[in-house]
């Protein structure tokens, strides 16, 4: 009866092979777009429009990369993006974990009601608030600065508050109480006990935040005007508008823009997956 | 299922009505104050403001003019594009969300069969889910190119001459659905974790009772996973309805407005035509539409979402 260990019968072996074949074919389908991207990025332009298309470049042109990247100040766009991402990430980590602590480890009247509001805002499409937000930032003279992109992160993000709260709830209350009896302040408990015990979920939040702000296009599009302030996403869009059919250059730049995410993914994969698992909590 | 119940099912609320400490309450409010301030400044006030604005005509430069319900009248009756864009956004979501859930579930179930190389497969399937935005949109624009694109090249191997995808009024929405399927790994990871949390004794008992694999999937796996699927469905609606970057980059709403998703139209009205009042009305209609969809889903939940805690007499 047992499907584990010894004694696989023929039917089980066949179904196992079937599973592997499906998964392998699926993997190829999933990876093919990236292969296509790399292959196109290395072709000379004349080969890009060859019919039928080549899956592998017959002639590899590495110069596509430096050539494409020197068309626009992508180094500046990179610095702008990095600055915005780091500032947003810090704000979201610090503020969301403080708020989440109050929602999970402290007892106070109104906690549950207020938390329902947090969840409700999590489900709110941000575009409903965007127009007044734009008007307010305009009145504050902050259009075409990084402020409208960074400031909201320093008010806590409902999604991260939710994630952190779920994790903090799993800690035992006795530990907090013991620390308080030993003379630790409530904030000390948060700082010295809760946070160090929550590295996996903090890592997950950091990665989500990085991923979101790195990819974000809508808000930079609305709030940034001057080309010197462009993020990579805006720069890439501008590049596309100018070199619309030079697919080898477009693929090269797009790949470079994706690369930091892919690198972070491979190094912090555990956090990514853990983080997603936290979100899936029922 | 009510929202409050949903919140409760998210876990952890002890029913403590006694023993609030004053110091703790003060500290708690201090700690949540950034979020409260953010809620008032960045959510509550802007929402009210956009509701008020939706009754005005305002080009952001001259003074706003009160026009009553004119914006809403235009939106529903004279301007054909808002309802058209809402329709295609809903059609796209109705195709994209269930497909992503089904594919995500199937891959997760295949991965959950004690296979070797689980970590490798998981990494491969999950990788596209972390990528999004402009770079991905440009990549898929190239993949969908009718003569030189990857998709039609692949189809030609099977002797199929693919359509013009992004250039075709009929195929542009399916193209967006296919593109979104690439990131199916995001849901898959969650289902996989859910599957691994299902107690194996349930399956052992079912096997003893002679249940075949179809029965095991429909009687054990899917009910046990239903809260996870429900959560994915709700977040899927909110996330998918907000599609913007892809259409902005790949088609700019074309051909002939066939991929003019709602937010693209809203963006044009607000930030290209500077019709702030009209765009605010558009935003509110969008908000109500998403809210209604979400509430309908919540109402269906009691028929198919199975919460273990309920049967244990949690109240």
Cβ distance of B7 and A117 shorter than 8 Å: no
pLDDT in tens, A96-114: 999 999 998 888 888 888 9
Asked if pLDDT for residue A4 goes beyond 50, the answer is no
Question: In whole angstroms, what is the distance from residue B290 CA to residue B263 CA?
Answer: 12
With respect to residue A171, please indicate whether it lies within any of the assigned structural domains: yes
Residues A38 and A108 reside in one and the same domain? no
Q: What is the pLDDT of residue B3?
A: 53
Q: What is the pLDDT of residue B163?
A: 93
Q: What is the pLDDT of residue A24?
A: 95
Q: What is the pLDDT of residue B314?
A: 34
Percent over 90 (pLDDT), chain A:
50
Cβ distance of A276 and B186 shorter than 8 Å: yes
DSSP assigned state of A71: T
Residues of B with CB below 8 A from A118's CB? Answer: 35
Residues of A with CB below 8 A from B114's CB? Answer: 3-4
ipTM (interface pTM): 0.89
Q: What is the pTM of this model?
A: 0.89
With respect to residue B84, please indicate whether it lies within any of the assigned structural domains: yes
With respect to residue B12, please indicate whether it lies within any of the assigned structural domains: no
| Cβ neighbours, 10 Å, residue A171 | 15
pLDDT beneath 50, residues of chain B: 1, 10-18, 310-315
Residues A91 and A173 reside in one and the same domain? yes
Cβ burial of B60 (10 Å; 0-12, 13-18, 19+) is middle
Q: What is the pLDDT of residue A230?
A: 96
Q: What is the pLDDT of residue B1?
A: 46
With respect to residue A76, please indicate whether it lies within any of the assigned structural domains: yes
DSSP assigned state of A193: I
Residues A159 and A232 reside in one and the same domain? yes
Q: In chain B, which residue's Cα lies nearest the Cα of A245?
A: B142
CA distance, residue B275 to nearest chain A CA (Å): 10
Residues A31 and A109 reside in one and the same domain? no
**Selected residue of A40, A105, A127 to mutate for chain B interface (largest B Cβ count, 10 A):** A127
Q: Total structural domains in chain A?
A: 2
CATH number at residue A200: 1.10.3720.10
Distance, CA of A46 to chain centre: 36
Residues A56 and A101 reside in one and the same domain? no
With respect to residue A84, please indicate whether it lies within any of the assigned structural domains: yes
Residues A166 and A226 reside in one and the same domain? yes
CA distance, residue A259 to nearest chain B CA (Å): 10
Q: What is the pLDDT of residue B313?
A: 35
Cβ distance of A130 and B270 shorter than 8 Å: yes
Residues A254 and A202 reside in one and the same domain? yes
Residue range(s) defining the domain that contains residue A168: 69-279
Q: In chain A, which residue's Cα lies nearest the Cα of B2?
A: A116
CATH number at residue B207: 1.10.3720.10
With respect to residue A1, please indicate whether it lies within any of the assigned structural domains: no
With respect to residue B97, please indicate whether it lies within any of the assigned structural domains: yes
Residues A140 and A41 reside in one and the same domain? no
Q: What is the pLDDT of residue A100?
A: 93
Q: What is the pLDDT of residue A8?
A: 66
Asked if pLDDT for residue A12 goes beyond 70, the answer is yes
Cβ distance of A99 and B32 shorter than 8 Å: yes
With respect to residue B65, please indicate whether it lies within any of the assigned structural domains: no
Q: What is the pLDDT of residue A110?
A: 86
Residue that is last in its domain, among A43, A66, A89: A66
Give me the mean pLDDT over the A148-159 stretch.
93
Residues A194 and A238 reside in one and the same domain? yes
CA distance, residue B78 to nearest chain A CA (Å): 22
By Cβ distance, the residue of A215, A272, A282 closest to B133 is: A215
With respect to residue B300, please indicate whether it lies within any of the assigned structural domains: yes
Q: What is the pLDDT of residue A207?
A: 87
Residues A47 and A81 reside in one and the same domain? no
By Cβ distance, the residue of A30, A154, A155 closest to B128 is: A30
Q: In chain A, which residue's Cα lies nearest the Cα of B114?
A: A4
Q: What is the pLDDT of residue B16?
A: 44
Give me the mean pLDDT over the A21-43 stretch.
94
**Selected residue of B134, B167, B232 to mutate for chain A interface (largest A Cβ count, 10 A):** B134
With respect to residue A2, please indicate whether it lies within any of the assigned structural domains: no
Strand B65-66 and strand B56-57: the pairing is antiparallel
Q: How confident is the model at residue A48 (pLDDT cuts 50, 70, 90)?
A: confident
Q: Token digits for B134?
A: 């402009």
Cβ distance of B238 and A262 shorter than 8 Å: no
pLDDT in tens, A201-252: 888 889 889 999 999 999 999 999 999 999 999 999 999 998 888 999 999 9
Q: What is the pLDDT of residue A128?
A: 79
Q: What is the pLDDT of residue B48?
A: 92
Q: What is the pLDDT of residue A1?
A: 44
By Cβ distance, the residue of B46, B139, B190 closest to A279 is: B190
Cβ burial of A98 (10 Å; 0-12, 13-18, 19+) is buried
Residue range(s) defining the domain that contains residue B191: 71-311
Q: In chain B, which residue's Cα lies nearest the Cα of A114?
A: B36
Q: In chain A, which residue's Cα lies nearest the Cα of B157?
A: A52
A206 Rama sector, left if φ>0, alpha if ψ -120 to 50, beta otherwise: alpha
Higher pLDDT, A48 or A220: A220
Residues A197 and A87 reside in one and the same domain? yes
Residues A54 and A102 reside in one and the same domain? no
Q: Total structural domains in chain B?
A: 1
């Amino acid at each position: 009866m047992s499907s584990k260990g010894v004694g696989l019968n023929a039917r089980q072996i066949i179904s196992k092979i079937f599973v592997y074949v499906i998964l392998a074919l699926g993997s190829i389908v999933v990876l093919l777009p990236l292969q296509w991207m790399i292959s196109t990025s290395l072709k000379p332009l004349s080969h890009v429009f060859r019919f039928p298309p080549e899956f592998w470049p017959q002639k590899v042109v590495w110069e596509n990369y430096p050539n494409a990247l020197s068309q626009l100040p992508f180094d500046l766009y990179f610095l702008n993006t990095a600055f915005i991402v780091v500032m947003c990430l810090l704000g979201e980590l610090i503020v969301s974990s403080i708020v989440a602590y109050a929602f999970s480890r402290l007892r106070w009247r109104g906690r549950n009601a207020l938390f329902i509001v947090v969840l409700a805002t999590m489900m709110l499409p941000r575009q409903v608030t965007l127009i007044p937000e734009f008007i307010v930032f305009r009145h504050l003279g902050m259009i075409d600065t990084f402020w409208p992109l960074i400031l909201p992160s320093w008010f806590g993000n409902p999604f991260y508050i939710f994630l952190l709260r779920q994790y903090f709830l799993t800690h035992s209350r006795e530990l907090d109480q013991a620390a308080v009896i030993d003379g630790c302040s409530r904030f000390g408990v948060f700082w010295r006990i809760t946070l160090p015990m929550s590295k996996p979920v903090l890592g997950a939040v950091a990665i989500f935040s990085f991923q979101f702000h790195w990819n974000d296009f809508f808000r930079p599009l609305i709030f940034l005007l001057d080309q010197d302030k462009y993020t990579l996403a805006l720069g890439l869009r501008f590049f596309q508008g100018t070199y619309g059919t030079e697919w080898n250059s477009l693929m090269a730049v797009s790949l470079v823009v994706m690369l930091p995410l892919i690198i972070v993914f491979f190094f912090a994969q555990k956090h990514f997956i853990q983080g997603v698992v936290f979100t899936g909590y029922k | 299922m009510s929202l409050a119940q949903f919140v409760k099912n998210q876990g952890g609320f002890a029913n403590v009505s006694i023993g609030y400490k004053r110091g703790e309450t003060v500290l708690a409010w201090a700690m949540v104050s950034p979020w409260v301030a953010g809620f008032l400044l960045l959510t509550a006030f802007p929402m009210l403001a956009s509701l008020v604005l939706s009754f005005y005509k305002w080009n952001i430069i001259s003074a706003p003019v009160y026009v009553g319900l004119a914006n809403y009248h235009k939106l529903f009756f004279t301007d054909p594009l808002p309802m058209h864009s809402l329709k295609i956004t809903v059609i796209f979501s109705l195709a994209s969300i269930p497909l992503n859930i089904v594919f995500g579930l199937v891959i997760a179930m295949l991965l959950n069969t004690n296979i070797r190389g689980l970590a490798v497969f998981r990494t491969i399937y999950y990788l596209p889910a972390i990528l999004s935005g402009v770079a991905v949109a440009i990549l898929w624009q190239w993949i969908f190119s009718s003569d030189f694109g990857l998709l039609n090249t692949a189809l030609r191997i099977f002797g199929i001459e693919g359509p013009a995808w992004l250039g075709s009024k009929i195929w542009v929405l399916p193209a967006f659905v296919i593109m979104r399927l690439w990131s199916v790994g995001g849901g898959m990871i969650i289902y996989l974790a859910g599957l691994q949390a299902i107690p194996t004794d349930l399956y052992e008992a079912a096997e003893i009772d002679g249940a075949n694999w179809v029965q095991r999937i429909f009687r054990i796996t899917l009910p046990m996973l239903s809260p996870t699927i429900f959560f994915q469905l709700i977040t899927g609606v909110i996330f998918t309805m907000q599609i913007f970057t892809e259409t902005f980059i790949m088609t700019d709403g074309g051909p002939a407005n066939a991929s003019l998703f709602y937010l693209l139209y809203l963006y044009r009205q607000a930030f290209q035509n500077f019709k702030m009042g009209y765009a605010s009305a558009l935003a509110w209609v969008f908000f109500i539409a998403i809210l209604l969809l979400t509430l309908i889903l919540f109402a269906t939940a009691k028929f198919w979402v199975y919460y273990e805690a309920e049967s244990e007499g949690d109240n």
